[in-house]
Structure 1
């Protein structure tokens, strides 16, 4: 009876593992990539046409939900990874898959070093792995298969975000257990990273996203982090000191319960605006984005703007900004492969930090309807589909990242039935 109850509960949790749509923009806005479910879609903004991905490893980019995508700082490389336990390194010029790395566990986060020398990825067991690229960005040839080497570990805590510091000295890893680890990136990464610079401790729920805000006056920058505790926090990573905390749901003034009390919402993404001390922030259930500004001298965060998306149920699941423009790209959508089709909705905000900023109409977006048809799956997306997707993401994030509580009896049963305890005949 106990066993069947547990199997039923775990089966229900598995059904809730919805993949939110993700978006990433080339640093020079030469292309835009969107993922929804296992589908990786890329549009070339220079040629104004959809990109055909070339993957000679097994014929298809991904077989299960993509959980992380990223362009390298140089714009030469692009990485995608997810639930199929594959990390794929692409040329962002030819869009040929240069290498496919097999992970032991499902992948939850990726990062590319600033000089394109290493790719790091994190798995669901809390281990960060590193792959040496050996000048892979200098050519377009497919290289022999590589394996990741263990770099560091969070010990059974799901890692939600990876980021290199602007100067490349540190790699930062955020996890489900409320913490951010700042690790010195070693000269010989394949030998492991053994020096911890600091821990940034203060969040009271899972950390979802991290981003650096910096300007010419402060090249190292400060770290901003978002969480399921409704806050964005500002950190000095050298010491791990918490500098300020911004209660985003309260400051937005838009998300309230029927009892007029603030509802705890999740910060879903943070996108730093290059060469400024500002960042765009998306939060669960909010139809728009917030603009937060960091005062370097006062070490404080403040809300400077709220941009609402008019006329439809558009709640961003991911946001991205190129370093060469002031266009903020947003995507909303989700997929679990069955109940929620692989549709996504793309919107763009111009001059995000200026007054006034505006949400572009579809025909004003770079690439126009050709881009939307490629990245959304079709040009027009029904509002009911997007509303269902937004609710699915909310439920899935809570199921995936909030720590589950088990009775003593159930905990002992789970220990006895762990894969590493099972015997093979």
Structure 2
């Protein structure tokens, strides 16, 4: 007989879908898409798909399924992009050399991994788990062709039992910023010897009223240390002086986009900010919203320390709600992906749709007044059919399937981070089923 205390979310845990992710090499040499357990990489310089080499493949064969479960974070190194990191629900952090696309190290995490970051000098990789702990890995000595496995990270800081949603290094490398599901942004001094721990807290950036979903930096010649931008489930994008935790400006992007959703019961909720991406000079910020078929462009005046809505770029040809954004510092392209894993009713195990916006630069802002000319057709994007075939898994996707994916994305992107509240009896039932308690009674 079924236990009445089992929550519907627990019963459907196995069918939880993972949003697609995208990352772009800083010099536009390659672009990577992760959807489900697939990692798909395309070489933009040579115009061909990348064959991944995983040190864990004992038979020497290569596959896009380099992870055993959903990938939750991907990242290129900020400066020269020689390192790439992927991590996720299989509790593995894989470090790749982008010159050969060999996995040079596999780090084992105790919990599922929710965020990754690479230091500005490329010497350290940090990753965070769903228990709120941030770990560091020293990349020196693992840059050869031969991959090492079963390594472990060193814990350097922790948020108390809260899922860490985003990790970023400050542009000057002095700080590491961690955001969590409980509305907090912590700024920690990144020590000279991080293997001893990052114990010094510089500041907290407090003000969001829902989970913090994403972080980005904007910086210019007058502010080389940069300012911090954060997006949240409260449907706002906020600008911070992170060194002292001061809130400089707030932009209510959900209201500005004209999206307001009600749950039909009580209260109102606006769509969550799912990703942020800033231009190299920090003057233009692209925002992905949970229910917006397109992106919102914000103007960031670093000198005045203000954010303002510039334009909403609609993508009405497809039901396209971006789940992740990426850009480079060279070609001024904004890459967008919408996708989910394990979409019910589809023949595709992992669905992804890629779109590209050109002229992603404040200097070219006049062209965005005619956004149809800036949103590239599939035949005009770098790599054309070859890049779509690789990153999407197919060239054409039926409109009905895209519509189903868009609806799944709306639900998944918020349910991924929203904090669940259980009555007392359900909390006790869930405690009895925890793995640590099971192990204790064996």
TM bucket normalised to smaller? over 0.9
Moved more, 288-297 or 150-159: 288-297
Specify which of 208, 212, 218 is matched with residue 207 of structure 1: 212
Q: Contact 2:25/2:31 (CA < 8 Å) preserved in 1?
A: yes
What is the distance in 1 between the residues matched to 2:157 and 2:263?
A: 44
Q: Contact 1:16/1:392 (CA < 8 Å) preserved in 2?
A: no
Partner SS for 1:356: helix
| Partner of residue 27, structure 1 | 26
Specify which of 214, 218, 221 is matched with residue 223 of structure 2: 218
Cα offset, 1:257, TM superposition: 6.6
| Partner of residue 355, structure 1 | 366
| Partner of residue 72, structure 1 | 77
1:296 pairs with 2:307:
no
| Partner of residue 125, structure 1 | 131
1:37 pairs with 2:53:
no
Cα offset, 1:417, TM superposition: 4.0
Cα offset, 1:133, TM superposition: 0.7
Specify which of 278, 281, 287 is matched with residue 293 of structure 2: 287
Partner SS for 1:61: coil
Partner SS for 2:224: strand
Partner SS for 1:4: coil
| Partner of residue 409, structure 1 | 425
Describe the superposition over 1:247-271 as per-residue Cα deviations: whole angstroms up to 9, x where unpaired. 0011123556799x98510101000
| Partner of residue 198, structure 2 | 193
Specify which of 367, 382, 394 is matched with residue 398 of structure 2: 382
Describe the superposition over 1:212-270 as per-residue Cα deviations: whole angstroms up to 9, x where unpaired. 011121111111100110100111111111111100011123556799x9851010100
Describe the superposition over 1:289-337 as per-residue Cα deviations: whole angstroms up to 9, x where unpaired. 1111222233211011221113111111101000112100000110137
What is the distance in 2 between the residues matched to 1:250 and 1:161?
A: 24
1:365 pairs with 2:381:
yes
What is the distance in 2 between the residues matched to 1:418 and 1:332?
A: 33
| Partner of residue 164, structure 1 | 169
| Partner of residue 371, structure 2 | none
What is the distance in 2 between the residues matched to 1:387 and 1:16?
A: 19
Count of residues in correspondence between the two structures: 422
1:108 pairs with 2:119:
no
| Partner of residue 90, structure 1 | 96
Partner SS for 1:343: strand
What is the distance in 1 between the residues matched to 2:394 and 2:334?
A: 21
What is the distance in 1 between the residues matched to 2:351 and 2:251?
A: 33
Specify which of 352, 367, 370 is matched with residue 344 of structure 1: 352
Distance 1:197 1:313, change over 3 A: same
Partner SS for 1:355: helix
TM-score by length of 1: 0.94
Cα offset, 1:13, TM superposition: 4.5
1:140 pairs with 2:157:
no
What is the distance in 2 between the residues matched to 1:58 and 1:156?
A: 34
Describe the superposition over 1:188-216 as per-residue Cα deviations: whole angstroms up to 9, x where unpaired. 11111110111111111111000001112
Cα offset, 1:175, TM superposition: 0.6
Partner SS for 2:412: helix
Describe the superposition over 1:364-393 as per-residue Cα deviations: whole angstroms up to 9, x where unpaired. 000000110000010011122222222222
| Partner of residue 189, structure 2 | 184
Cα offset, 1:6, TM superposition: 3.3
Q: Contact 2:23/2:32 (CA < 8 Å) preserved in 1?
A: yes
Two-structure CA RMSD over aligned residues (Å): 2.1
Q: Contact 2:297/2:311 (CA < 8 Å) preserved in 1?
A: yes
Moved more, 10-19 or 173-182: 10-19
1:149 pairs with 2:154:
yes
Partner SS for 2:366: coil
1:246 pairs with 2:281:
no
Partner SS for 1:215: coil
Cα offset, 1:145, TM superposition: 4.5
Cα offset, 1:10, TM superposition: 4.4
TM-score by length of 2: 0.91
